Amino acid sequence: MKYTGFFLCGVLLICSIMPLSADTVMLYLDRSKGQGDEKNSIGYIEDGIMEAFFDAGHIIFNSSYHSLGESEEPEEDPFGDYYVYRVAKSGGASYVLSVRLSFDEDIENQWPISAAYDFVRLETEQSLSSGVVLMERTGGWKEKEPFELVQSLGKRLGMEALKGL
């Protein structure tokens, strides 16, 4: 009985330290720049980004310009907000992480060379962090499979974006 009290106090302490709710993020992959294996690259970079957000305790779901059916040239919005933001809000997201892959002009290289991102709080439409993350080219990168490099790019991008919270 004595140990039950200690156990309950420990559980209450842990619960008070943990956040009551996780932030929900929509990962939006925008149209890529350049020519490359966009379809596979999107899947691999999503894996890395989602891993970073899940590890940090956030809920994240994905979308892309393909799934939203956006045209080549987005129309002017009469309501003054972005369609992506409305989709994210309707999905219960508090944040949007927009990512755009860039491919080399060299058609031989099918993998992205960098990824630009913008992490936005939907309530205020304020950018919390943004930047460009380059494909890893240090220490044993030649021994890694290309998909591992793209996943690593995604994980590093996710960790950089999370610094804005």
- pTM confidence score: 0.79
Give the architecture (CATH level 2) of 22-162.
Answer: 3-Layer(aba) Sandwich (3.40)
- Residue 68: pLDDT band with limits 50, 70, 90: low
- Residue 110: pLDDT band with limits 50, 70, 90: confident
Mean pLDDT of 139-153: 85
User: What pLDDT score does 69 carry?
Assistant: 60
Q: Phi, psi at residue 150, to the nearest 5°?
A: -70, -40
Q: What is the pLDDT of residues 38-58, one digit of tens each?
A: 999 999 999 999 999 999 999
- Could you tell me if 22 and 128 are in contact, meaning their C-beta atoms sit under 8 angstroms apart? no
> Could you tell me which residues come within 8 angstroms of residue 17 by beta carbon, excluding any fewer than 6 positions away?
none
> Could you tell me which residues come within 8 angstroms of residue 129 by beta carbon, excluding any fewer than 6 positions away?
117, 118, 119, 160, 161, 163, 164
Measured CA to CA, the distance from residue 64 to residue 81 in angstroms comes to 17
By the 10 Å C-beta count (0-12 exposed, 13-18 middle, 19+ buried), 161 is classed as: buried
Mean pLDDT of 112-140: 92
Please give the span between the terminal C-alpha atoms of the chain, in angstroms, as a whole number: 42
How many Cα atoms within 13 Å fall on the side-chain side of residue 23?
18
